[in-house]
Amino acid sequence: MSTDTAITMPEGAPEEVVTHSFLREVDLSAFGATGSLALITLDNGLDHNRPNTLGPKTLVELGERIAQAEASSAVAIAIIGKPFIFAAGADLSAIAFLSDRAQALAIGKLGHDVLRRLNEMKKPTFSFINGLALGGGLEIGLHSDYRTIASTAFVGLPEVFLGLVPGWGGATILPQLIGPEKAVQVIMANSLNNNTMLRAKDALALGIADALFDPADFLEKSVQFAADILSGKQKIERSDHTTDGAAWASAIAAGNAAMVKKYGNADIASPRRALALLEAARTSSRGEGFDAEDIALADLVMSDPLRASLYAFNLIQKKRKKVEGAPKPALARKVTKVGVVGAGLMASQLALIILRNLKVPVVITDLDQERVDKGLAYINAELQKLVEKRRLSSEGAARLAALISGSTDKNAYAGCDFIIEAIFEELPLKQKLFKELEAIISLECILATNTSSLSVTKMAEGLTHPERVVGFHFFNPVAVMPLLEIARTADTDDATTATAVAIGKELKKTMVIVKDSPAFVVNRLLTRFMGEITDAIDEGTPPEIADIAMAPLGLPMSSLQLLGLVGPGVALHVAETLHHSLGDRYKISPTMQAFVAKGIRTFYIKDGDGKQIANPEAVALINAGNQPSSAEQVRLRALTALAEEARMMLDEGVVATAAEIDLCMLLGCGWPLHLGGILPYLDREGVSESVAGSRFHPAGVASLPA
């Protein structure tokens, strides 16, 4: 095993935070077994906000401790993490600096050389998974002969989500350990479903863990488990999953289906390579599987999609913690009561998320009692669903239900500190509402609007205190979508903005502060992009051609599927608003006008077999011209439009940085992680320079080093 020296990382790469390995022996006589247990503790010496990670130096030291333990008189070896953390996987901070494929291969091989020793030595090995175990951290456990897990731990293999494969044994060992179907669920389906992690009880049920213990006496119980295994008091039976070829084929088919569901027909390397490794695991020896993992890992590391994915992932993590341009938190006002104007679906969702997270009284109003009652019924029904899912206790739901109230009288807002409106998107209605509210509320109460496209500045016209008005734009569904656009006008003061940011943090949203401008960031770019697709259809491009134009990108849904989600009415309204504000580059589609006039809500419908087909009523309304385009021409014009609009937005100061546009598109409309954000993709495609005259990001951002 070649672990005598660490791999030298490229110049400029961040210094590795070494997770040290501490070795001690535990006498097993008190646990009913003979001899001692060599216990290795992983600890980077930092608090729980910086989990243990596995870089080259860490792996070398771990290899040395494993060798010492193997050479000692101990009868078995176990690995545990620092309190609440086992290991959060490979240290990916330096990956973007690698420019030599041989180095990427060496990192993969180093991980295999160190971890495989746990399974290949004669002494029994154990992993005591006392907390978070992701990627390479979980792979330590998979290489061990036995695994215990704390009831509070979360585990997973997130590599495919990040553009990698489980490259230190996971893709080979896991299907052999728990079977191909379960392995595909963990490696593919969970990863592609926004990196879903497994709870400890689920890891136990799948066979990833052999025993589950509460954290209070986890180490003691785990040592007892090891002693029982060593003394023969307890035995763990393993099944041979490699004999059932039909199960293996079915699992691979399920993995392919998960890949298509996520990316359509786009050829995305990481899930495809992961599936190939899973399929080969049935017949490969572990050594052959590990060699294949090394090759796959090196190929992916030396690819733009991986660099793009890491850029996007790191951007999301960074901006989740820090809001660019936010005033000092101390300026935020205390919020003890919140008002939500409206009782429709969007308003009810807003009331629910505020209620659950702020746990303060929330009042909703609407035009009549029937609408108010419907909104309250929705909120209470959602609370009960949370109880049924065991995400909320009955007592907790009752406490929250007691905090929500409804009225048809706006005077109910008199004691509120923060009010957000979610009424119909008509500027005169919102202006009238804010003037009415200003006569009722205190001087410190903030007025927020959930508008998606209207001017917040105009909404505040005529108010005595326009400095208290702010845009607070959520995305639907409110509880799921992580982005919150905070639109600040020229009048909005720091206290208002700081309070909005503080509430956003309580709601667990990732925020971007934007200049009050038409449709802010996400809807402005989406409307421009969608407009190019509908314009192409109006010109004569067959809908099925226009709709597949962006398929190579692996977007979460096609343009016309997105239209069905947003609704032609909303899409047309936003397009009309932007046409009025920004000019003819936002065209008013006669097809969209016809859809809205005839009440068409979606371009696609399901046939009798549940298959998606074009809605004949929608197709009949298309008044196509005689200038059709190819799918590639439509793709290029859409990308060109995005580059033009992004450049204008930066020049106008809608946001301060290109990274904020990337963040908005990643979190607000599901722009794929493997593209690294919209602007790095336009840079790599050469669109940025041809359209805007320069790249949006320096060379090497979200791509291989220049």
* Rounded Cα gap, residues 133 and 156, in angstroms: 7
**What is the phi/psi pair of residue 119, to 5°?**
-95, -25
Q: Rounded to an integer, what distance in angstroms lies between the CA atom of residue 84 and that of residue 76? A: 23
Let me know how long the chain is.
Answer: 706
Does the bond joining 477 to the residue before it have cis omega, within 30 degrees of 0? yes
Helix, strand, or coil here: 398?
Answer: helix
For the CA atoms of 640, 644, 647, 652, what is the dihedral angle to 10 degrees? -160
Q: Is 444 a catalytic residue?
A: no
The one-character DSSP state at 90 is: B
Pair 691, 643: CB distance under 8 Å: yes
Closest by CA position to 371, among listed 398, 397, 402, 348:
348
* Secondary structure letter of residue 48 according to DSSP: T
Contact 252, 279 (CB under 8 A): yes
Q: How many helices (H) and strands (E) does the chain have?
A: 30, 20
DSSP run (H or E) holding 550: none
3-state secondary structure 456-485: HHHHCCCCCCHHHEEEEECCCCCCCCCEEE
139 is known as an active-site residue: yes
DSSP annotation of 520 reads T
Task: Name residue 153's amino acid.
Answer: A
CA angle 482, 262, 140 (to 5 degrees): 80
The 10 Å Cβ neighbour count of residue 107 is: 25
Q: Can you tell me the distance from the alpha carbon of 542 to that of 631, in angstroms, rounded to the nearest whole number? A: 10
Instruction: Give ∠ CA 661-570-638 in degrees, rounded to 5.
Output: 45
From the candidates 159, 279, 485, 660, give the one annotated as an active-site residue: 159
Q: Annotated catalytic residue: which of 16, 70, 120, 139?
A: 139
Q: Which residues have a catalytic role annotated?
A: 139, 159
